[in-house]
Amino acid sequence: MGMLRNVEYTIADISLKVGLSQKTIRDYEKWGLIKPKRHLQTNNRIFADFELEQIQQIARLLHGKGFTLSCLRTLLQMAPCWNIFDCAVKKECPAFKFYDMPCYEIRKEKGTLCSGHCEQCAVFINRNKKGEKVLERPDPIPG
């Protein structure tokens, strides 16, 4: 992800920039893939460049690469953030150096170069909160 400008966009702006309907963007939020800030007085969604990049990549994976929602959630739980979002500064980021730990854990201790807030990141939103195994061994075949 890298360092981004601090520009605010409405859902209409984002819709035009990424070529998705406003409904699809609201669906991404409903499905737990994004979590835009809300304006305190109007409750309107407020997007920054961070969310713009995340929406672009989510759309690429869902619509361009054919990922299912379930597959995307599993990817967000298993793969490092810098790999999912093709981070331009990954080699300098502690999240890249400590790839076996989730970026949001590394950020607490060592910081990261990500410009967004963890609470608004698809990786953090979809983290495995219950500590369950994402992939399990298949049941043995009865013999």
Instruction: Report the pLDDT value the prediction gives residue 48, as an integer from 0 to 100.
Output: 92
Instruction: Report the pLDDT value the prediction gives residue 8, as an integer from 0 to 100.
Output: 93
Rounded distance between C-alpha atoms, residue 33 and residue 42, angstroms? 22
Do 69 and 24 meet the contact criterion of CB atoms below 8 Å apart?
no
By C-alpha distance, which of 123, 108, 98 is closest to 1? 123
Instruction: Report the pLDDT value the prediction gives residue 47, as an integer from 0 to 100.
Output: 95
**Which residue ranges form the domains of the chain, and what is each CATH number?**
11-125 (1.10.1660.10)
> Rounded to a whole number, what is the largest CA-CA distance in the chain?
64
By C-alpha distance, which of 122, 19, 100 is closest to 114? 122
Q: Which two tokens stand for residue 128?
A: 């495995």
Full 3-state SS string of the chain: CCCCCCCCECHHHHHHHHCCCHHHHHHHHHCCCCCCEECCCCCCEEECHHHHHHHHHHHHHHHHCCCCHHHHHHHHHHCCHHHHCCCCCHHHCHHHHCCCCCHHHHHHHCCCCCCCCHHHCHHHHCCCCCCCCCCCCCCCCCC
Mind listing the pLDDT tens digit of every residue in the chain (143 residues)?
444 556 899 999 999 999 999 999 999 999 999 999 999 999 999 999 999 999 999 999 999 999 999 899 888 888 888 888 888 888 888 888 888 888 888 888 888 888 888 888 888 888 866 556 666 677 777 76
Q: How many CB atoms lie within 10 A of CB 116?
A: 20
